[in-house]
Amino acid sequence: MLQCFTQLFGHRWCRVAGGFTGCDDNGDTLAHDSPDLRDALRLLFERIRRVYIQTADYGKISQCKKKDEEDAQNFLDRMRRVFRANSAIPYDEAEAGAYQQQLKRAFLQGLKTELRRYIDKHWVHQNTGTVTQALEYAQHAHKTQRDRKTDTFGMQDSLMALHRSGSKSRQSGRGGFRGHRGRGGGGPRHSYTQSNACLKCGKIGHYARQCRTILQNPGARDDNCWICNEPGHFARECNEKRVYNPNSTQN
């Protein structure tokens, strides 16, 4: 046994050996599983623990984060290895012990922000819960977030379909209206009748703004009726019934 220890520690054996020789005071080798051997090994392990005490590196633990496509169980397994190697806390399987509780907190801190918010909102007994419960809440939160994204995408697809159908309806309505008067429609744009004859010369085929007739007395006032083109009254007093033309701009 002494030979195994010296080969294992090498030149550092002198730092932890103390008075351990594997023999009793008479120089006889200590018997296997004897009380004296157990006491000597216990003192030796205490010296080793003091000399080679593990230093905690919580920076490496905090850098361990859940990946986007990583399952919660796989992330917990990865966190277990990182935590055990860098926590400097003696390993203990007790759920209420310091090791498991600190492992639970490191696991929760390594989750995505939206998962951690969901757990903080719904897990009331988070401070006294176990690692197994933390894993269950993380899996449920992951499933809930995934279902919400699916519903959101479905709603967006429905809204896009409604938008496209509404655009087609509006386009068909515009086409039907413009087929007669709008852009691309055939036939004349205006229909000239007696009711919308030129107010300047009284002829049909153009309006007053297009008329080329030169008045003999431009300053004179034209008091002829705009409907029957007769003097003596105005259009509002005309007894002739005006013909309605839906295509006329004078109505």
Give the three-state DSSP class for 14.
helix
pLDDT at position 178 is 47
Q: Are 235 and 227 in contact (CB under 8 A)?
A: yes
pLDDT at position 82 is 94
pLDDT at position 101 is 95
Q: How far apart are CA 203 and CA 193, in angstroms?
A: 10
Of 188, 192, 209, 202, nearest to 231 by C-alpha is 202
Instruction: Name the CATH topology of 58-147.
Output: 1.10.1200
pLDDT at position 185 is 47
- Inter-CA distances, 147 with 108, 151, 158, 172, 194, Å: 21, 6, 17, 38, 71
Burial (0-12, 13-18, 19+ Cβ within 10 Å), 77:
exposed
Q: The tokens of 124 are what?
A: 């009331």
Q: Which residues pair with 29 in a beta bridge?
A: 23
Q: What residue ranges of the chain have pLDDT lower than 70?
A: 54, 151-196, 214-223, 241-251
Of 36, 131, 151, nearest to 79 by C-alpha is 131
pLDDT at position 179 is 45
- pTM for this one? 0.45
- Inter-CA distances, 97 with 54, 111, 115, 250, Å: 19, 22, 25, 94
- Inter-CA distances, 93 with 67, 98, 225, Å: 26, 10, 108
Number of C-beta neighbours around residue 189 at 10 A: 10
**Domain spans of the chain?**
2-51, 58-147, 192-211+225-237
Total residues belonging to the chain: 251
- Inter-CA distances, 70 with 58, 132, 142, Å: 22, 18, 10
